[in-house]
């Protein structure tokens, strides 16, 4: 009990530290709010037709100064040496929306990942074939894979089709050092004759091998994907046309012959590449395989349905065991950089650009408000957690006291009782000693 009380009291301190961290981030966002308001004011000013181009350039100089200050605040805000707003950590799906029924009826398999389930033995995640359940939580942590310690290995997977779509959200860590080494997202037990989806180490190229035919291999141009940022990669086969899209932008296509014929093969997700001895090294989330080829309109629906965010994520421990559902939860703080607000490169040098910036700033303000609202909600939850922990600690201390401490009232009662008995005995002895003296006085008269 003493151990539990001590642990709970430290949990209270942990939760209070988390509140301090949240308040630090919120204070920085309050300043960013002021900068966004000023930028909106400048955009409105530059949008009117009563200024010349030279004057708009002067107005834009202050606009860019405000933007630079937002970026500086996002980069500099930290708590105990931990960056909070620069997007240096990563978490996954935020506010997943259910896909339409026309997608579900052709969904072969669906995996979502939680980076709390890593297993150092080599099987960090469980993949379930034909799992079409959808996460509805506010946050679902993205799975971090490095090939050697964690991957999904799915039992036998059978398909025979002329249409296919692989849809996966990817955030690749810093690139490798050799273009000869690939980073595998998806592979099968068939090696070169199976289905592969890879990102090449230092070039950002994407390789997609859709069938068991050698003429199906498709490689995108260099630089198709940048690193340390979320992207939706969609590989499709629609009839005999194979294509790769990054965020609904076509980065490569080719014509292939034959259909997709994989039977009884095992799918590996985020596993090391046996050919090049190179491990996948990054984050994956919301991995889906469809028995249909997606159009660009349908890919856009995928983009609209899932909003991935870069940001800071920290597990706050407050309970006395390692059960994440009982003793801890994550505090997630979205990135507040210009890039995360989609304001990088925005300017008001022309009237047209200034009018466009009004829309961009409106969206940035909504996103900033959402971040602050989420921080407020988490702070309220932490305050309630602290109240609950304090009650638990107080009650445990009371229970421990009943077991190990003296009952003062009872002991005082016993003490008074013994004291009265002792005083009564002394009085009786005193009276007994005086009787002979009184008798002697009577005799001697």
Rounded CA separation 193/81 (Å): 49
According to the model, what pLDDT value does residue 139 have? Answer: 45
According to the model, what pLDDT value does residue 369 have? Answer: 93
Distances (CA, A) of 300 to 93, 119, 233, 305, 327: 16, 34, 12, 9, 39
Assess if residue 266 is contained within a domain: yes
* Residue 92: pLDDT over 70: no
Assess if residue 402 is contained within a domain: no
According to the model, what pLDDT value does residue 190 have? Answer: 62
- pLDDT tens string 6-26: 989 999 999 999 999 999 999
Distances (CA, A) of 439 to 190, 427, 429, 442: 122, 19, 16, 5
Residues 116 and 139 both lie in one domain? yes
* Residue 206: pLDDT over 70: yes
Residues 129 and 216 both lie in one domain? yes
Residues 78 and 117 both lie in one domain? no
Residues 164 and 226 both lie in one domain? yes
Residues 133 and 74 both lie in one domain? no
334 or 39: whose pLDDT is higher? 39
| pLDDT-derived band at 148, boundaries 50, 70, 90 | low
- Of these ranges, 212-226, 349-363, 430-444, the one predicted with the greatest mean pLDDT is 349-363
Task: Report, as an integer, the average pLDDT of 36-60.
Answer: 95
Domain that holds residue 374: 2-86+320-394
According to the model, what pLDDT value does residue 243 have? Answer: 92
Residues 81 and 128 both lie in one domain? no
Task: Report, as an integer, the average pLDDT of 216-243.
Answer: 83
| pLDDT-derived band at 331, boundaries 50, 70, 90 | confident
Assess if residue 39 is contained within a domain: yes
Least confident of 14-18, 52-56, 295-299: 295-299
Task: Report, as an integer, the average pLDDT of 332-346.
Answer: 86
Residues 184 and 132 both lie in one domain? yes
Least confident of 143-157, 161-175, 245-259: 143-157
pTM equals 0.61
- Of these ranges, 13-22, 229-238, 389-398, the one predicted with the greatest mean pLDDT is 13-22
Assess if residue 310 is contained within a domain: no
Q: How large a percentage of the chain has pLDDT more than 70?
A: 78
Rounded CA separation 120/128 (Å): 20
* Residue 133: pLDDT over 50: no
Assess if residue 399 is contained within a domain: no
What's 77's domain CATH number? 1.20.1330.10
Look at the chain and report how many structural domains it folds into: 2
| pLDDT-derived band at 64, boundaries 50, 70, 90 | very high
Residues 6+ apart with CB under 8 A from 407: none
Which three-class secondary structure string do you get for the chain?
Answer: CHHHHHHHHHHHHHHHHHHHHHHHHHHHHHHHHHHHHHHHHHHHHHHCCCCCHHHHHHHHHHHHHHHHHHHHHHHHCEECCEECCCCCCEEEEECCCCCCHHHHCCEEEEECCCHHHCCCCCCCCCCCECCCCCCCCCEECCEEECECCCCEEEEEEEEEECEEEEEEEEEECCCCCCCCCEEEEEEECCHHHCCEEEEECCCCCEEEECCCCHHHCEECCCCCCCCCCCEEEEEEEECCEEEEEECCEEEEEEECCCCEEEEEEEEEECECECCCCECCCEEEEEEEEECCCCCHHHHHHHHHHCEEEEEEEEEEECCCCCCHHHHEEEEEEECCCCCCCCCCCCCCCCHHHHHHHHHHHHHHHHHHHHHHHHHHHHHHHHHHHHHHHHHHHHHHHHHHHHHHCCCHHHHHHHHHHHHHHHHHHHHHHHHHHHHHHHHHHHHHC
| pLDDT-derived band at 63, boundaries 50, 70, 90 | very high
- pLDDT tens string 422-432: 888 888 888 88
Tokens 């961009």 label which residue? 360
| pLDDT-derived band at 215, boundaries 50, 70, 90 | low
Residues 6+ apart with CB under 8 A from 357: 39, 43, 63, 346, 347, 348
Task: Report, as an integer, the average pLDDT of 394-416.
Answer: 82
Contact between 261 and 194 under an 8 Å Cβ cutoff? The reply is no
User: Which residue from 316, 322, 440 is spatially nearest to 385, judged by alpha carbons?
Assistant: 316
Task: Report, as an integer, the average pLDDT of 124-130.
Answer: 41
Task: Report, as an integer, the average pLDDT of 264-271.
Answer: 78
What's 122's domain CATH number? 2.60.120.200
Provide the mean pLDDT of the chain.
80
- Distance in angstroms between the alpha carbons of the first and the last residue of the chain: 75
* Residue 212: pLDDT over 60: no
* Residue 134: pLDDT over 70: no
Assess if residue 444 is contained within a domain: no
> Across the chain, which distance is largest between two alpha carbons, in Å?
145
* Residue 330: pLDDT over 80: no
Task: Report, as an integer, the average pLDDT of 418-444.
Answer: 84
Assess if residue 315 is contained within a domain: no
Residues 239 and 333 both lie in one domain? no
């Amino acid at each position: 009990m003493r151990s539990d009380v001590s642990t709970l009291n430290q949990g209270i301190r942990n939760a209070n530290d988390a509140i301090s961290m949240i308040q630090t981030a919120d204070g920085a966002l309050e300043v960013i709010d002021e900068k966004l308001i000023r930028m909106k004011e400048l955009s409105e000013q530059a949008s009117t037709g009563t200024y010349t181009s030279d004057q708009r350039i002067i107005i834009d100089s202050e606009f860019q100064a405000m933007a630079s200050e937002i970026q500086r605040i996002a980069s500099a805000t930290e708590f105990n040496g931990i960056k909070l707003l620069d997007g240096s950590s990563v978490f996954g799906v935020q506010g997943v929306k259910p896909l339409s029924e026309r997608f579900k009826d052709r969904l072969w398999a669906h995996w979502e990942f939680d980076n709390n389930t890593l297993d150092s033995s080599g099987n960090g995640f469980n993949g379930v074939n034909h799992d079409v359940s959808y996460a509805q939580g506010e946050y679902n942590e993205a799975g971090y894979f490095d090939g050697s310690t964690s991957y999904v290995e799915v039992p036998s997977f059978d398909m025979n089709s002329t249409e296919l779509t692989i849809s996966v959200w990817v955030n690749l860590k810093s690139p490798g050092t050799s273009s000869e080494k690939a980073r595998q997202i998806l592979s099968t037990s068939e090696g070169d004759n199976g289905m592969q989806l890879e990102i090449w180490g230092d070039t950002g190229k994407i390789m997609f091998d859709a069938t068991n035919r050698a003429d199906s291999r498709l490689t995108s141009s260099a630089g198709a994907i940048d690193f340390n940022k979320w992207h939706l990669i969609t590989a499709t086969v629609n009839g005999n046309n194979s294509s790769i899209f990054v965020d609904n932008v076509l980065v490569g296509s080719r014509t292939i012959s034959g259909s997709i014929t994989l039977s009884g093969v095992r799918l590996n997700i985020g596993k090391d590449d046996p050919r090049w001895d190179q491990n996948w090294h990054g984050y994956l989330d919301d991995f889906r395989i469809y028995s249909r080829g997606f159009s660009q309109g349908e890919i856009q629906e995928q983009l609209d349905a899932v909003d991935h965010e870069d940001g800071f994520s920290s597990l706050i421990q407050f309970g006395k065991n390692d059960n994440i559902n009982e003793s801890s939860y994550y505090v997630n703080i979205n990135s507040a950089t210009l890039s995360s607000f989609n304001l990088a490169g925005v300017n008001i040098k022309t009237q047209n650009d200034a009018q466009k910036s009004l829309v961009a700033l409106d969206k940035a303000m909504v996103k900033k408000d959402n971040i602050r609202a989420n921080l407020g909600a988490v702070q309220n939850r932490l305050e309630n957690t602290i109240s609950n922990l304090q009650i638990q600690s107080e009650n445990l201390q009371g229970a421990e006291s009943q077991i190990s401490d003296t009952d003062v009232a009872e002991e005082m009662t016993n003490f008074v009782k013994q004291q009265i008995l002792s005083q009564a005995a002394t009085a009786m002895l005193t009276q007994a000693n005086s009787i002979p003296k009184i008798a002697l006085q009577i005799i001697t008269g």
